[in-house]
C-alpha cells in the first residue's frame, strides 16, 4: 500500500498539524506502509527564511520519505506550482492520498488534481468546517466552497475528523460524506531528571511552593487568552496564589502575540507570569512534568493535541467545552471542564488549585486514559484499517 500525505508545511512553527503529520507518518511507516509526504519549504509567514532542505527529491526521515517543493509565489499561502506538477505526473504511483487542511490553496489544488487523476483522497479539515471557524471571512468562504472546495468535499473518499464532536458539528455543504473519526496521537515523554535546570533556563518566576499553571499552545485568538487572563486576575485579586507559564508564540501573527505580552505586562499577574515563547524537546517536557494544572479555554479546537500531551505527561487539565475532546476528559476523570465564560473559568481553576492531592489523582487518571487511547501505535492501526476499507470499496466499484 503506497500512501501519499499532502500538507502545506511540516515546519514545527505551524504547531500541531505539522507535528501530527510527522508522527502519523512515522507510526505508519513503522507498520510497513510505503509512505511519502509532499509539502513545501514554508517556515513561517512573517519574513522567516524557508526550510533549509533539498528540493524536489526524496529525503528519508523516520522510515518514510519527504519531498519538499519551493513555496511560491505567495509564501503566506504555502502554495507550490511545482508540487502540483509533480502530483499530476505521479498520482498514478500511489494508492491513496491523505490531504491535511481545507480552505488552503495547496490542499484545494492537490485535491482537485487527485480527483482529476482518479487518485482517491481523504480530507482532514483541521477544524475548518466548524461553524465557528466558518464565520471568519464568511462571504469569501461561501464563494470558495461554491467554486472550489465543495467539489473536493463531495469527491473525497472520506473526511477525517479527530473527535466525535468535530464530526457532529462540521458543515458538509450538502455533500454526503463518509466520515472517519480517528483521534490524534501523542508520544509518552521520557521523564526529565534535571527539571530545575530547564526551569532556570526558562527563568520561571514565582515561589516554587505555589502551584504552577501552564498554558502551552499557539498564541492566537481562538485559544481564549482574553478569557484566561481575566480569570486568573480574578483568582489573584481574591487572594489565590500561583505561578503562570505561558509557553507559546505565533510567528504567523506577531501583532497578536505582542498584544498578549503587553496585556500581561500591565496585569497584576506580571510578577508571577513567565512568557517563554515556543518551547520544544526537553524544555517542553520539563514544563509539562512540573506543571500542576494545564489550561486551555479555547473557543473551538477540533481535537486539542496540547491537551492530550498534558494528559500523557500526567498533568491534570482545565479546559473549555470548546475543546472537542472535553467528553473524553470528563470520562477519564482527568481534569475539569467549563463554558467559555470568565467567571466559570475562574471558578474551575480555583477549584482545581484548591486540592493538590486531587490534582495529582486526576493527573494520573489523565495519563492512564491517554496511554490507552492516544498512542500513535493504536491510531496507526486504525488508520491502516480505514485506508484498506476505502481501497477495497473502490475495487468493488
What's the CA gap between 42 and 63, in Å, rounded? 22
pLDDT, tens digit, for every residue of 39-57?
Answer: 999 987 767 889 999 999 9
Rg (CA), the chain: 21
Cβ atoms < 10 Å from Cβ of 239? 6
Q: Cβ distance 159 to 125 under 8 Å?
A: yes
Q: Cβ distance 346 to 235 under 8 Å?
A: yes
Task: Give residue 189's pLDDT.
Answer: 87
Q: Would you say residue 108 has pLDDT above 80?
A: yes
Averaged over 279-301, what is the pLDDT?
95
pLDDT, tens digit, for every residue of 7-45?
Answer: 999 998 787 788 899 999 999 999 999 999 999 999 877
pLDDT, tens digit, for every residue of 244-283?
Answer: 999 998 887 889 999 999 999 999 999 999 999 999 899 9
Q: Which of 209, 197, 280, 293 is nearest to 245 (CA)?
A: 293
Task: Give residue 368's pLDDT.
Answer: 96
Q: Where are the alpha helices (DSSP H) in 117-269?
A: 131-134, 138-144, 150-155, 164-169, 195-201, 225-237, 254-265
CATH number of 195-373: 3.40.50.2000
Q: Would you say residue 357 has pLDDT above 90?
A: yes
Full-model pTM:
0.87
pLDDT > 70: what percent of the chain? 99
Domain chopping of the chain, boundaries = 2-185+375-396, 195-373
Distance of CA 324 to the CA centre of its chain: 12
Task: Give residue 252's pLDDT.
Answer: 78
pLDDT, tens digit, for every residue of 125-147?
Answer: 999 999 989 999 999 999 999 99
Q: Which cell is 21 given?
A: 503529520
pLDDT, tens digit, for every residue of 56-106?
Answer: 999 999 999 999 999 987 777 789 999 999 999 999 999 999 999 999 999
Same fold, 2-185+375-396 and 195-373: yes
Averaged over 224-239, what is the pLDDT?
97
CATH classification of 2-185+375-396, choosing from 3.40.50.2000, 3.10.20.600, 3.40.50.300, 3.40.50.410?
Answer: 3.40.50.2000
Q: How far apart are the first and last CA of the chain?
A: 19
What's the CA gap between 181 and 112, in Å, rounded? 23
| Sign of the CA dihedral with 117 first, then 122, 123, and 126 last | negative
Distance of CA 205 to the CA centre of its chain: 28
Task: Give residue 241's pLDDT.
Answer: 95
Averaged over 272-300, what is the pLDDT?
95
In the numeric block, the cell 505551524 is attached to: 14
Amino acid at each position: 500500500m503506497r500512501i501519499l500525505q499532502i500538507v502545506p508545511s511540516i515546519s514545527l512553527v505551524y504547531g500541531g498539524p505539522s507535528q501530527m503529520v510527522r508522527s502519523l507518518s512515522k507510526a505508519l511507516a513503522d507498520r510497513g506502509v510505503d509512505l511519502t509526504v509532499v509539502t513545501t519549504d514554508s517556515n513561517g509567514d512573517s519574513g522567516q527564511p524557508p526550510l533549509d532542505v533539498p528540493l524536489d527529491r526524496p529525503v528519508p526521515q523516520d522510515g518514510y520519505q519527504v519531498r519538499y517543493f519551493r513555496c511560491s509565489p505567495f509564501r503566506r499561502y504555502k502554495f507550490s506550482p511545482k508540487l502540483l506538477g509533480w502530483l499530476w505526473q505521479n498520482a498514478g504511483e500511489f494508492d491513496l492520498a491523505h490531504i491535511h487542511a481545507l480552505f488552503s490553496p495547496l490542499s484545494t489544488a492537490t485535491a482537485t488534481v487527485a480527483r482529476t487523476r482518479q487518485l482517491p483522497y481523504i480530507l482532514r479539515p483541521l477544524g475548518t468546517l466548524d461553524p465557528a471557524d466558518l464565520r471568519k471571512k464568511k462571504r469569501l468562504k461561501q464563494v470558495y466552497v461554491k467554486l472550489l472546495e465543495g467539489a473536493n468535499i463531495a469527491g473525497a473518499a472520506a473526511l477525517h475528523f479527530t473527535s466525535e464532536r468535530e464530526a457532529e458539528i462540521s458543515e458538509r455543504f450538502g455533500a454526503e460524506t463518509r466520515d472517519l473519526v480517528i483521534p490524534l496521537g501523542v508520544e509518552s515523554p521520557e521523564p526529565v531528571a534535571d527539571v530545575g535546570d530547564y526551569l532556570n533556563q526558562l527563568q520561571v518566576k514565582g515561589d516554587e511552593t505555589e502551584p504552577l499553571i501552564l498554558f502551552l499552545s499557539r498564541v492566537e485568538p481562538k485559544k481564549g487568552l482574553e478569557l484566561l487572563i481575566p480569570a486568573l486576575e480574578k483568582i489573584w485579586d481574591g487572594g489565590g496564589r500561583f505561578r503562570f507559564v505561558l509557553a507559546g508564540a505565533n510567528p504567523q501573527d506577531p501583532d497578536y502575540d505582542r498584544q498578549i505580552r503587553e496585556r500581561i505586562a500591565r496585569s497584576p499577574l506580571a510578577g508571577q507570569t513567565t512568557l517563554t515563547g515556543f518551547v520544544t524537546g526537553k524544555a517542553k517536557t520539563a514544563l509539562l512534568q512540573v506543571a500542576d494544572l494545564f489550561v486551555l479555554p479555547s473557543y473551538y479546537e477540533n481535537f486539542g493535541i496540547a491537551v492530550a500531551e498534558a494528559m500523557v505527561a500526567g498533568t491534570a487539565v482545565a479546559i473549555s467545552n470548546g475543546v472537542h475532546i472535553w467528553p473524553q476528559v470528563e470520562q477519564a476523570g482527568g481534569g475539569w471542564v467549563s463554558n467559555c465564560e470568565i467567571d466559570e473559568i475562574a471558578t474551575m481553576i480555583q477549584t482545581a488549585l484548591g486540592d493538590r492531592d486531587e490534582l495529582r489523582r486526576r493527573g494520573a487518571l489523565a495519563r492512564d486514559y491517554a496511554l490507552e487511547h492516544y498512542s500513535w501505535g493504536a491510531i496507526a492501526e486504525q488508520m491502516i484499517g480505514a485506508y484498506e476499507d476505502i481501497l477495497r470499496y473502490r475495487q468493488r466499484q
